[in-house]
Structure 1
Amino acid sequence: MNVMLFSNGKIAGNTQILEYGFEWIAPMIEKTQAKKLVFIPYAVIRGSYDERTEQVQQSFAQFDCEIVGIHTCDNPVKAIEEADGVVISGGNTWVLNRTLHDNGLIAAIRKAVLKQDKLFIGWSAGTNVATPTIRTTNDMPIVSAAILPALNLVPFQINPHYIDGSISGHMGETRDERIEEFLVMNPTEVVVGIPEGTMLQVEGDQLTYHSANSKPLKLFRHQSEAVTFAPQEDVQFLMDEGI
């Protein structure tokens, strides 16, 4: 596999989407020679698909990549088959996942990534759908008939935009408490919280963690104290557990 799962699209000081990850994306583009990328903007709610596609094109122009918005394609499945890779935007995970299912793209993307080693890049909602299910998204289920199973490219749940802390005066649950609630109901699963400016990468069968700001990921298990891992630490076991 060649998979890059970013927590978010931008960090402070960035003017382009995934700017903080350009140094990680460059060698992956060179390795895979992925020059034609189909872009999936289905998660975008407060904006237009065309605008987001243009923003992504601006980011990937430096890699000599052509970005094709899947919403402009008559046959979305064929677009995946003909592309060198897939890029999925952040936005609302519930809308994104349902639209992927409605358009018959789950099997097409899984075949492209798992069988043909095509490049997959996602951030935020685009990262959520790479997991077995979207149950650990931060997004509201703003559509009816919501679908939970997702692409299952990695065998563990991810919580993008992870925040380790509480807000003064806020009486609701913290992010840690919400994740703990998930694990009470799903005790055999694990959740990986990735903060802003970070990325999980699968190259071949090797999983690594990268951070533009030295923030660690946080691993949650049922009835266990959460554990943090710095970018240089080994997280390969997450791929080997077969959750």
Structure 2
Amino acid sequence: MDLLLLSNGKVAGNTKVMEFALPAITEVFNRKKVKNVVVIPYAVIRSSHDDRTAMVADSLSHLDVSVTGLHTADDPVKAIRDADAIVVSGGNTWVLNKTLHDLGLIGPIQHAVAKLGVPYIGWSAGTVISAPTIRTTNDMCIVSAAITPSLSFVPFQINAHYIDATIEGHMGETRDERIEEFLIVNPHQSVLGIPEGSWLAVSGDKMTYQAANDKPMHWFKLNQERKIIEAGSDVTELLSLDC
């Protein structure tokens, strides 16, 4: 598989979505000879699917590729089958995951990426759905009949936009406390907290952790001290976790 799982879409100083990871995206697209890019914008709520697709097209304008929003396809399943690369936008994870299930797209995306080697680029919600479930998303569940199983490209849970901080005057749970609650209820699983400006890069059977700002990744497992993983680290071992 070729996966680039970005924590978020932009960092300070960026003008384009995915800008901080564009060198990595360019390398994958050139290596895989990508021509036909399909954007999945279903997570977007507060702007249009057309606008989000246009943002991705602008970010990829330095490449000789065609960019199409999956929402415009008469046959979304066929569009996935014809894609040379899949880019999945951030937004609301619950809406994104439910829409993919409702349209019968989970299986076709899994087949394209895991069996055919089609590159998969996601950020925020698009990254969270690469885990076995979306139960460690930060998003509110704003849809009824919510579905949690997702694409399961990686064996661990992901918490995107991870921040190791407390807010003065805020009496609610911290991010770490929420992750601890998840692990208490799901003791056999683990969670990767991926901070802003960082991503997981999977190529074949290898995985590395990368960051444009050198922020470390946090690996949580019940009854174990969290592991702090520095940018540039080989984290292939995490792909074989029994979780």
Query: Do the structures match in fold with TM over 0.5?
Result: yes
- Contact kept, 8 Å, 2:211 with 2:232, in 1: the verdict is no
Q: Does 1:148 align with 2:148?
A: yes
| Distance in 1 separating the partners of 2:59 and 2:116 | 25
Shift of 1:242: 3.2
Deviation at 1:224, TM superposition (A): 1.3
Give the distance between the partners of 1:216 and 1:193, measured in 2 at CA: 9
| Distance in 2 separating the partners of 1:4 and 1:196 | 14
The residue identity in structure 1 corresponding to 2:112 is A
1:186-217 per-residue CA deviation (whole Å, 9 max, x = no partner) reads 00000000000000011001011100000000
Question: What secondary structure is seen at the aligned counterpart in 1 of 2:3?
Answer: strand
CA distance in 1 between partners of 2:65 and 2:234 (Å) = 31
**Aligned residue number for residue 209 of structure 1:** 209
For 1:54, give the aligned amino acid: A
Amino acid at match of 1:118: V
Structure 1 runs (4+) deviating above 2 angstroms are none
Partner of 1:52: 52
Q: Could you say which residue in structure 2 is the equivalent of 1:166? A: 166
Write the letter of the residue equivalent to 2:202. V
**Letter paired with 1:134:** I
Determine the structure 1 residue equivalent to 2:84: 84
C-alpha contact 2:210 2:233 (8 A) present in aligned 1: no
Q: Within 1, Cα distance between the matches of 2:142 and 2:156?
A: 24
Question: Could you tell me how far 1:115 is from its partner in structure 2?
Answer: 0.4
Structure 1 counterpart SS, 2:21? helix
Matches within 5 A, 1:110-129: 110-129=110-129
Structure 2 length-normalised TM = 0.99
Deviates more, 1:224-233 or 1:188-197: 224-233
- The match for 1:67 is 67
> Structure 1: which amino acid aligns with 2:135?
R
Runs of 5+ unmatched residues, structure 2: none
Q: Provide the C-alpha distance between the structure 2 equivalents of 1:233 and 1:151, rounded to a whole number of angstroms.
A: 24
How far is the alpha carbon of 1:233 from its aligned partner?
2.4
- Taking the TM superposition and a 5 Å limit, the aligned residue runs for 1:1-243 are 1-243=1-243
- CA separation in 1, counterparts of 2:233 and 2:91? 30
Shift of 1:8: 0.2
Calculate the aligned-residue CA RMSD, in Å.
0.7
Bigger drift between 137-146 and 62-71 goes to: 62-71
Instruction: Provide TM-score, normalisation by structure 1.
Output: 0.99
Mapped to 2, the partners of 1:35 and 1:90 lie a distance apart of: 22
Cα distance in 2 between the residues matched to 1:89 and 1:164: 24
Instruction: Specify the code of the residue in structure 2 equivalent to 1:174.
Output: T
CA deviations 1:67-126 (Å, max 9, x no partner) are: 110010000000000110111000000000000000000000000000000010000000
